[in-house]
Amino acid sequence: MKTSTEHPWLRLILPLAVNVVLGIPAVVPAFLLWYFASNRPLADLGWTEREPTENDGMLPWFMVATPILTLFGLVWWLANRPLRRRTALSPRAYWLLSAAATALPTLTLVVISSGRS
């Protein structure tokens, strides 16, 4: 019988798969963060142009974006915490790999949409 120490990379498949699957709904929080950043601080610096119809102020952000971002962050952390203990990676490497795997679907959509314009 083979042990899991023969192929330590097999222990990375489950965390990678879980984080890529979590990355699909993560498109919504990523869009909300980009929309906020492009209309507020980046527009104030002159790096982007502010959306002309964005004049609602900060209240919608606190009412809509904050619960969505908090809920996703909590689900992501709760899904990754038990998986982290089962890997041989250092905590820093594991969390970096998890964040990169979660960002993969969003980055894929960004690349696809930039190729169309």
| DSSP code of residue 56 | S
pLDDT in tens, 57-101: 778 888 999 999 999 999 999 999 999 988 888 999 999 999 999
Rounded to an integer, what distance in angstroms lies between the CA atom of residue 23 and that of residue 103? 6
Verdict on whether the full-model pTM lies above 0.85: no
Rounded to an integer, what distance in angstroms lies between the CA atom of residue 60 and that of residue 81? 31
8 part of a folded domain: no
pLDDT in tens, 8-63: 677 789 999 999 999 999 999 999 999 888 888 898 999 999 888 877 877 888 89
11 part of a folded domain: no
80 part of a folded domain: yes
Q: What is the dihedral of CA 102, 31, 43, 62, to 10 degrees?
A: -110
With H, G, I as helix, E, B as strand and everything else as coil, classify residue 26: coil
Q: How many domains does the chain have?
A: 1
Q: Which residues, 6 or more positions from 75, have their beta carbon under 8 angstroms from its beta carbon?
A: 22
Q: Is the pLDDT of residue 5 over 60?
A: no
pLDDT at position 1 is 46
39 part of a folded domain: yes
93 part of a folded domain: yes
Structural domain span for residue 27: 20-50+62-116
5 part of a folded domain: no
Q: 74-81 — which CB contacts under 8 Å span 24+ positions? A: 75/22, 76/22, 76/26, 76/102, 79/18, 79/19, 79/22, 80/15, 80/18, 80/19
